[in-house]
Amino acid sequence: MGLKSRLQQSKILVAPGVYDGLTAVLATDAGFEALYLSGAAVAYTRLGRPDIGLSTASEMADTMALIADRTPLPVIIDADTGFGNALNAQRTMRTYERAGASALQLEDQSYPKRCGHLTNKSLISCAEMTGKISAMADARASGETLIIARTDAIAVEGFSAALDRAEAYLEAGADVLFVEAPQDRTQLEYIGAQFASRIPLLANMVEGGATPITDANDLEQQGFSIAIFPGGIVRAIGRTAQTYYNSLHANGSNKPFADRMFDFDGLNEVIGTKEQLEIGARYDVKN
């Protein structure tokens, strides 16, 4: 089922964060219906750097293409600010769409952006953002490709201004609204009350971020259609990897860590090594 059709259902869609082919396979096997590729996750893993606008459009598109090759699930991709003006945003739409994205998330921060849960953000004008939304809508090859409009205005201009911007982005043609970093449950509930009857809403769950962590069922009751957990996998793997490296350094062996890792055969099973070799054998030259 395509993402656009799935969002017509009343049940909330949970999209976990992924950042490469392996995490995409693991999330798919876990039973999720959609995935989320964040610029933050790519910065954390490919660059070992913070989410302050360092990831490039080409790095994101390359990562998207690799993920699309490993999973049939629809992927929501972080398009940041569109990487420039309206023309840049159009190019980003075409590039990400060709790479296999089902939805692009565009935000109203100035370029370069920073993580929505960091301080000292700055915004472009509402008019410039609505122009980008319209430009991306004109550039998409398929009406099935969705535009998720995000506003970071709560931390910069206040909650009321964020709602005003969201209204303008809805009018400009956004398919989904994403009001970033609500400060408390009251704000979450207010967003749902104002918009849920008119357009799907996305909630962003960031461990240790500005928004209280809320489970998917609760968010659904508040009117949200999508819950993303974009960086959880990086925080989980980062913590595990730190412990693993410390253990190997201290012990000179992986034996103390063996019960917390795949062995050779276990990982090959997850990534489908046997199946790939069987497919390759079909094309071997027969003498």
Q: How is the chain classified by DSSP, letter by letter?
A: --HHHHTTSSSPEEEEEE-SHHHHHHHHHTT-S-EEE-HHHHIIIII---SSS-S-HHHHHHHHHHHHTT--S-EEEE-TT-SSSHHHHHHHHHHHHHHT-SEEEEE-B-SS---TTSSS--B--HHHHHHHHHHHHHH-S-TTSEEEEEE-GGGTT-HHHHHHHHHHHHHHT-SEEEE----SHHHHHHHHHHHTTTS-BEEE--TTSSSPP--HHHHHHTT-SEEEETTHHHHHHHHHHHHHHHHHHHHSSSGGGGGGS--HHHHHHHHTHHHHHHHHHHTSPP-
What is the C-alpha separation between 82 and 38, in angstroms, rounded? 13
Q: What is the pLDDT of residue 227?
A: 98
Q: What is the pLDDT of residue 120?
A: 66
- Rounded mean pLDDT, 81-93: 97
Least confident among 12-16, 182-186, 248-252? 182-186
Q: How far is CA 103 from CA 23, 38, 91, 100, in A?
A: 19, 12, 15, 9
How would residue 115 be classed by pLDDT, with cut points 50, 70 and 90? low
Judged by average pLDDT, the poorest of 27-36, 110-119, 213-222 is 110-119
User: What percentage of the chain reaches a pLDDT higher than 70?
Assistant: 97
Query: Is residue 146 pLDDT above 90, yes or no?
Result: yes
Provide the pLDDT for residue 118.
60
Q: What is the mean pLDDT of residues 202-211?
A: 89
Weakest mean pLDDT among 164-178, 198-212, 223-237:
198-212
Q: Residues 219-252: pLDDT tens digits?
A: 999 999 999 999 999 999 999 999 999 999 999 9
pTM of the model: 0.94
pLDDT of 1 reads 76
The torsion angles phi and psi of 94, rounded to 5 degrees, stand at -65, -40
Write down all domains in the chain, each with its CATH number in brackets. 3-231 (3.20.20.60), 238-282 (no CATH)
Mean pLDDT of the 249-256 span: 98
Query: What's the pLDDT score for residue 116?
Result: 53
Q: What is the pLDDT of residue 212?
A: 87
pLDDT recorded at residue 114: 61
Calculate what percentage of the chain has a pLDDT beyond 90: 89
pLDDT average, residue stretch 104-114:
86
For position 54, what pLDDT does the model report? 87
For the chain, give the mean pLDDT. 94
